[in-house]
């Protein structure tokens, strides 16, 4: 069973306990540098990707990346998609905020700087999913749409699924307008006449509603704003901030 732990090196945070499952689930921090080819200072982004992924045993040229649009589009990643978005943003899979696959040695990647990354692992198929969940995608219940596609393609059963939450801005820091009550009528947190949103908790509730076992949901409790020295935060840094990469890959069976 996967452990509720992160192993940390200078370049990555790795969800431990998954090596026996021949699976990599990891994300970068600020130290390896910006991983985005379009946001922040991009001049070293390809080298940053190569160094970060190389330490995980992943070829950076094999990445499958989503052209994230803060929507609810979910795409299956196939062998012929290998390398899409790896060297050029323009080749990323369009209009997509979540990727799923049952192919081995096909690394999936999303990029965040306050939004939530969600790792999905179906040990039975096996298959994986990777979600970019900002408030818009969460409003559209991208978790449900991703699991639906995994059920259709891989016969994934929610009760077998493992879910991991990557870094995200937390309710301690994620202040929103009162208008957000139109989107999340029961989820806004009010403190001192201000309103805050907990993206991780909302997505957890959505997962539970889909039938995911609560003991299989792992939240690593990282706030990108509180821990801005370790992670990029759009709220703290503005438009010039970089992006961390979350990556998931099924490895070849031993």
pLDDT the model gives residue 16:
84
pLDDT in tens, 170-192: 999 999 999 999 999 999 999 99
pLDDT in tens, 141-169: 999 999 999 999 999 999 999 999 999 99
Domain 6-250, what fold? 3.60.140
Helix (H, G, I), strand (E, B) or coil at 100: strand
Given strand 217-219, what is the order of strands in its sheet? 74-76, 98-101, 127-133, 116-122, 162-165, 217-219
The per-residue DSSP string of 179-245 comes to GGGGT-TTT-EEETTEEE--HHHHHHHHHHHTT--GGGEEE---BTTTTTTTS--HHHHGGG---EE
Vertex 37, ends 32 and 38: CA angle to 5°? Answer: 125
Give the separation between CA 26 and CA 8, rounded to whole angstroms.
10
Query: What's the number of CA atoms in the CB half-sphere (13 Å) around residue 154?
Result: 26
Share of the chain above pLDDT 70, in %: 96
pLDDT the model gives residue 1:
45
Q: What would the mean pLDDT of 94-111 be, rounded to a whole number?
A: 98
pLDDT in tens, 190-229: 999 999 999 999 999 999 999 999 999 999 999 999 999 9
Q: Count of residues for the chain?
A: 254
The whole model's pTM is what? Answer: 0.96
Distance from the first to the final alpha carbon of the chain: 18
The residue ranges of every structural domain in the chain are 6-250
CA 91 vs CA 7, 81, 83: distances in Å:
32, 10, 8
Tokens 């969800």 label which residue? 15
Which residues lie closer than 8 Å to 99 by C-beta, 6 or more apart?
64, 66, 74, 75, 76, 77, 93, 108, 110, 129, 130
Tokens 């994934």 label which residue? 156
Which candidate, 58, 107, 41, 51, places its Cα nearest to that of 79?
107
Which candidate, 64, 23, 28, places its Cα nearest to that of 222?
28
Give the separation between CA 52 and CA 29, rounded to whole angstroms.
10
Give the separation between CA 173 and CA 19, rounded to whole angstroms.
34
Buried b or exposed e, range 184-208, using 16+ CB within 10 angstroms: beebbbeeeeebbbbbbebbbebbe
């Amino acid at each position: 069973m996967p452990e509720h732990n992160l192993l940390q090196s200078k370049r990555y945070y790795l969800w431990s306990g998954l090596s026996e499952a021949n699976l990599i689930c990891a994300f970068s921090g600020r130290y390896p540098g910006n991983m985005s080819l379009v946001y922040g200072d991009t001049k070293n982004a390809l080298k940053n990707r190569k160094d970060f992924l190389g330490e995980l045993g992943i070829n950076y040229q094999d990445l499958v990346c989503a052209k994230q649009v803060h929507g609810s589009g979910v795409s299956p990643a196939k062998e012929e998609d290998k390398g899409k978005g790896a060297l050029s943003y323009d080749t990323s899979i369009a209009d997509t905020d979540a990727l799923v696959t049952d192919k081995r040695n096909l690394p999936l990647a999303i990029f965040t700087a306050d939004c939530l990354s969600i790792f999905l692992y179906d040990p039975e198929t096996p298959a994986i999913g990777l979600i970019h969940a900002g408030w818009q995608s969460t409003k559209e219940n991208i978790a449900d749409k991703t699991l639906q596609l995994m059920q259709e393609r891989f016969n994934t059963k929610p009760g077998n699924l493992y879910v991991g939450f990557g870094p995200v801005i937390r309710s301690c820091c994620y202040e929103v307008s009162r208008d957000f009550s139109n989107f999340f009528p029961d989820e806004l947190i009010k403190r001192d006449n201000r309103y805050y949103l907990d993206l991780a908790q909302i997505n957890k509730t959505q997962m539970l509603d889909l039938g995911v076992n609560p003991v299989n949901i792992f939240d690593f409790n990282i706030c990108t704003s509180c821990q801005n020295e370790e992670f990029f935060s759009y709220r703290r840094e503005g438009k010039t901030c970089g992006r961390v990469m979350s990556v998931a890959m099924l490895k070849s069976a031993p």
